[in-house]
Every structure is written in C-alpha cells, then in structure tokens.
Chain A
Amino acid sequence: MRLLRLLNSCLCTYFAVFSLLILLLFIIPEKSLAITMQLTSKSYMLLQEDARDNDYAPFYEYYELDLKDIKEGLISVHSGGWLRYDLKTVSDEEREVDELTYLYLKLSPLKDKSLTFQIGRHYVFSGVATEQIDGLSGLWEITPLTGISIFGGLPVETENDGRDDDYIVGGRVSQKIADKAQLGLSYLKSYNDDQSHREEMGVDTWLGPVDWMELDGLSSYNNLDNEWMEHSYYVRFFPMKNLIISPLYSHVDYGSAFYNTTLSVFTPEYLGKDESITKYGGYVEYNITSWLTAIPDYIHYGYDELGNSNYYGAKLAFDVYGINSGVMLHRMAGHVKQLRYTEARVFAVKTFKKLKLALDAINLNYDEEYNGLRNMYNLNGTAEYDITKYLNLTASVDYAKTPDFTHKTSAFFKVVYNFDKTF
C-alpha cells in the first residue's frame, strides 16, 4: 500500500519525465530498443530501543532502478528511493516515511556524449553546488579542455516551509590546461519564498604541474554578506612510490558558510558571534610492505572563541593471513571539556568464499566525565553470506555504552537482491 502511495506521489511530480521518455521511445527506431535493466532491492530490518527503553522495529525497503543502453547508450533512466514502516513504534505519527531520492532521465544528443542533459530529481555536483534539485541540468564539453554546465529547478530540501516560490539556478565554466591544471568558476543562486536565500560563487582548482605533486582546492564566496565562506586546499606530494605526504589547509567563516541555515545549532547565537575555524596539518601514507600501511596524521584546529585543539595519532592497515585489519589511535587535546579525549579503534574483516565476517570496536575515553561516564565504547559484529551471485544476506549486532545509553543493543538484518536483464 505504501509502495503504491509512493509511486502515486512520484508519478504526479514526474509525469513529465516519463512522458518525455515515452515520446522518445516512439521516436527511436525499433532496432535501437535494446534496453539493459538493472534493479536492486535492499531490505533492512533494524531492532533497537531508545534511552527510555521504548522498542523500535523499523523495516526499510530501498530500490535502485537503472534503464541503460537505450538508443545505443544515448538515453538512460535512473531512479532510487526508499520507504520505512515501523513495526513496533510507540508513536503512530512517525510510523511511515518515504523518500524519492532520485528519478531522472539522462540524454546525450551527440554521439560523442560531449553534451548531456539530466531532467528530473537528481544531484548536481558543480563547483560550489552540491545540490539535489527537481529540474534540469546540462553539461557541454565545448572542447576536450573547456566545459560549461548549467542547472535550474526547485531545490529539494526538508519541507519546513513549503516549496512555493523556491528555485535554484547556477552553473560552472571550466578550463583544463594541458593536463597540468583544471580551473572552474561556479555560481549558485537560490530563492526561498521568492526571497534571495543563497548566492554563492566559487573557484575550484586542480594543479598537477609536476609528477610528484598535485593540489586540490575550493574557495567559495557568499555574495549576500560579501564574505568568503570557505577556503579548502589539499596538497599531495609523491616523493616515493610507496609514500604520500598530504598537507592541508582550510578556513571556514561560520557566519557566511552557515548563512540562512534552517537549524538553530548553526547560528552565531549557538556557535559564537564571528566564530571561525582554521584547520591545518596533514597526513602521511606510507606503504611499509605490501601488507602493511601506516597513516600518521596531525590536524590543528584553531577557533576564535573555543581556543585551539590538536588532533594527532595514526592508523595502521594490514592484510595478514587474508584478514584485512585496521588499528587506530588518536588524541584530541583541546582547551574545552568536549575536546579532550583519546580515541581508539580496531577492526578485522575475513572472507571465506561466500561468507564474510567483520568485527569492529571503537573506544572513546574522555578526560572528564559526561553523566558520570568517562569511558564509552561501541562493538559491532557483522556476517554477510552470498546465497547466489544476485542475492545476499547480512546480519549485524551492535552494542554501545554511552552517557546517553547505559547499554544499547541493536540488531540489523539486510537482504540484497540484484536483477539484471537485457531486452
């Protein structure tokens, strides 16, 4: 029943998409109608309790549907969504939830696919824009080195004030320079209830001037308060084949970056007026042998009001006797209570033909007590079994001890079914 209701609501919104698809199917010659369909169903059952010992048993059904290779691969349709029905909740109001995550038609009118359009509900990744929209986006690679993308539509957001008179537009122009650099300039503007809500510009960069070094970065600017929102840069040096050194730098101005938030926790009243964070440090990744990798890291967090903190430690990843394992130990040394703790984690994964087992343990030890508790941990054990190439089962048990839950146990079951068919 819920599935029918979900489909019904989707059909109303996306009638236009499928109308267009049907129209295209009529236009396409019959001999081009080879369609590959990939359908994945994922069913999840979670058994858990809350801090008041109320039991919950939410059942989730996820689907992913891809129709590809239509008209020699120039057209494809993609859709995904989920619904939840709680079998044992104390609140009937929140028993059912669903989401159409994406449903879009992808068109490539040119045979070299240098021009593509996406129509429907989809994600746009384009410089400053990482947005989910109901609308249209297009990418045109004018030459192999120059591209332009545009998008427009209704932003998909939590429906806290309705979606009337909401819209979003933007785009990005990009230029590659002889496989040594890529530069993008992007723009985004959105309206909420016909009022200017966001207006952002950004410069994204990739530089690889020499074989032993590359740089990724993004700077974004808030046009509404005329301040830089964020600078985020990540450099990688490759001095040896088995060694990567990655310094990083970022600065975020909370007031500009969290402009027009819908959540009080991101406002200056909560985070502090004129607060910002400057982060620098880096990672070293050293493949000591073919089965052992060490990743020491150090990050300095500098705040205007919260003081400074240093996060440092290391991860070790190793593969011995077919067991993929990891050990991690980190220390956060800050000025305030919540930034003084030691974090440890260990995991191991072993695969036996069709059976895969994973164990994972996390421990957090705080310098000062929270609700009378300094040491908290989370243990997880998971088993996955491949019944066939297309069907597998997973069972997982999780146990946690935190200041919020003296003891919290949850169980999780998952069934995944993949279906491929070419018509």
Chain B
Amino acid sequence: MPYINNSKGKKLSSWPFRSALVLTALILIYIICPSGLFAEEEEIPESHPVELTEKPLCTDCHQKEEEKVGGKPFKTYNHSGDYIKRHQYYAEQGSKVCQICHKTSFCTNCHAYKEELMPSTKDSIKPERWLPHRNNYIFTHRIDGAIDPSKCFPCHGRQNNQRCKQCHK
C-alpha cells in the first residue's frame, strides 16, 4: 500500500548541511561549557538497591537537595500525579535512569508496534495510573482523536494501525 502524503509536498533538504550545523552547534556548546572536561564522574546504578513495588516518590528517601541522578535532582523523577504526562521528556534525554527500575518490557507494555491488549486491561488492578484506554475506548477514541490527535500519532500514525484501517481506510 502506498504511503499517503500530506498536501505540502516533499522537498528534499540538504541533510549533510544540516548535519554539519548540528556538529558545529555541538562544538560551540562544548567551547562554552569547558566544565565538561573536568566534571566529576557520576555513577548511575544498574538497579535500585531496594525493590520498589509502588509508584515511588524518590524524595521520600533521597532528601538532600545536592543529591543528583543523571544530572537532575531526585524530585524531578518523583512519580507524582502528572508524571505520566512528563515521562516522555526523560526518555528523550536518555533512558539510563529509567532502566534503574524499569525493564524494557515496562515500556513495551504500552509502546509496542502490534500490541492488541490495552494497558488498562492488562493492568486493571492499577486504576491509580489513570490509563486512558478503557473498555469503552472504541467509542471514546473518536473524542480523544478530535481533541488532540498528536497523542494518538506516535503509536498509531505509522504503525500499530491495522485495526484502525478496518474503519479508517
């Protein structure tokens, strides 16, 4: 099946030029920040020393402001009310901190390319996660899709959409 293009048409850009721009920017950043050469080594552990079974508030134990992990304070990683809305930013900046507690399967529980079972079905024992895809989602997806389709696109825009195509040809 051919890909569907949008109305703006394709323009091949000069990607070697843009890559050179990225490299130049990196060099500039590095010149501005010579502290990188002399920074202290920070060891990110392979796994959390204590097994965590509930959503953690890191600052319950890591209370010192100067304590950091991945260069950020522990309160950044507190799995508080809005954490699920923010977790993409931390993954984008490197998932090494996430991997202290989470195995790959934790990510693929929701982010898989052919997944059929909804996370809220698999983990219905955890309603405190406020997961969106409930049993009535075949109806409510049209509402969420109208509100903000950019939330649907990462998982269903180019993949995991065989079921979508049953109606949306």
From A6-14, A15-23, A25-33, A201-209, give the one contacting chain B.
A201-209
Give the shortest distance, in Å, between B60 (CB) and chain A (any CB): 11
Judge whether B33 is part of the interface by a CB distance below 8 angstroms. yes
**Contact at A378–B134, with CB atoms within 8 Å?**
yes
Contacting residue for B89 out of A80, A216, A254, A410, CB 8 A: A216
Beyond A143-B37, A258-B149, 5 additional pairs, beta carbon < 8 A: A139-B96, A149-B94, A267-B6, A271-B149, A338-B143
Of chain A, the residue at the smallest CB distance from B167 is A265
Q: Is B150 a contact partner of A244 (Cβ separation < 8 A)? A: no
Name the one of B11, B143, B168 contacting A263, with C-beta atoms under 8 angstroms.
Answer: B168
Alpha-carbon distance between A336 and B143 when the two chains are bound, in angstroms = 11
State A5–B161 Cα separation when bound (angstroms). Answer: 24
A-B contacts, CB under 8 A, total: 336
Given contacts A145-B33, A201-B22, A301-B148, is CB(A261)–CB(B112) below 8 Å?
no
Which listed residue (B13, B68, B139, B146) contacts A179, Cβ 8 A? B68
Cβ–Cβ contact A144 & B153, under 8 A = no
Whether the pair B94, A78 counts as a contact (CB closer than 8 A) is no
Distance in angstroms from A325 CB to nearest chain B CB is: 9
Are A145 and B71 CB-contacts (below 8 A) given A122-B104, A161-B2, A199-B13?
A: yes
| Cα-based distance from A260 to B165 in the complex (angstroms) | 16
User: A408 touching B135 by the CB < 8 A rule?
Assistant: yes
Nearest 10 pairs of A and B residues by beta carbon:
A216-B89, A347-B127, A145-B36, A402-B139, A360-B127, A265-B168, A225-B8, A125-B91, A223-B13, A99-B114
B-side interface residues, number (CB < 8 Å): 100
Contact A126 B92 (CB under 8 A): yes
Contact call B81/A317, Cβ cutoff below 8 A: yes
Note all chain A residues with C-beta closer than 8 A to B37.
Answer: 143
Q: Does A358 contact B126, Cβ atoms closer than 8 Å?
A: yes
User: Is B13 a contact of A224 with CB atoms below 8 Å?
Assistant: yes
**Residue on A nearest B28 in the bound complex, by CB:** A175
Given contacts A174-B94, A262-B161, A414-B122, whether A398 and B33 have CB atoms under 8 Å apart is: no
A326 near B127: Cβ-Cβ < 8 Å:
yes
Chain A 382-410 residues near chain B, CB threshold 8 A = 382-384, 394, 396, 398, 400-405, 408, 410
How far is it, in angstroms, between the C-alpha of A60 and the C-alpha of B122 when the chains are bound?
11
Contact A208 B160 (CB under 8 A): no
Point out residues on A near B: beta carbons under 8 Å: 40, 42, 44, 46, 58, 60, 64, 66, 73, 78, 80, 84, 97, 99, 101-102, 112, 122-123, 125-128, 130, 132, 139, 143-147, 149, 156-158, 160-161, 173-179, 182-187, 189, 192, 196-197, 199, 201, 204, 206, 208, 211, 214, 216-218, 223-227, 230, 234, 238, 244, 246, 252, 254-268, 270-271, 273, 277, 279, 283, 285, 293, 295, 301, 306, 309, 311, 315, 317, 324, 326, 328, 332, 336, 338-339, 341, 345, 347, 349, 356, 358-360, 362, 364, 370, 376-378, 380, 382-384, 394, 396, 398, 400-405, 408, 410, 412, 414
Selected contact of B136 from candidates A78, A128, A256, A378, CB within 8 Å: A378
In whole Å, how far is B2's beta carbon from the nearest beta carbon of chain A? Answer: 7
The listed residue with most B CB atoms (<10 A of its CB), out of A264, A341, A410, is A264
Indicate which residue in B46, B111, B124, B145 contacts A360 across the interface (CB closer than 8 Å).
B124
What is the CB-to-nearest-CB distance from B154 to chain A, in angstroms, rounded to a whole number? 6
For residue B73, give the distance in angstroms from its CB to the closest CB of chain A: 7
Given contacts A174-B94, A268-B7, contact A398 B1 (CB under 8 A): no
Q: B112: nearest residue on chain A (CB-CB)?
A: A101
Tell me the nearest residue of chain B to A315, going by C-beta.
Answer: B81
Q: A66-B103, A158-B113 are in contact. Are A175 and B124 (CB under 8 A)?
A: no
Chain A nearest Cβ from B118, distance in angstroms = 10
Of B1, B18, B126, the residue contacting A223 (CB under 8 A) is: B18
Q: A143-B37, A262-B4, A326-B127 are in contact. Are A362 and B157 (CB under 8 A)?
A: no
What is the CB-to-nearest-CB distance from B23 to chain A, in angstroms, rounded to a whole number? 8
Asked if A224 contacts B12 (CB within 8 A), the reply is yes
A349–B113 Cα distance when bound, in Å, is 31
Cα distance A216–B76 in the bound complex, in angstroms: 10
User: Within 8 Å CB of B76, what residues of A?
Assistant: 206, 208, 214
The answer to whether residues A99 and B138 also contact, given A143-B39, A263-B165, A293-B81 and a CB cut-off of 8 A, is no
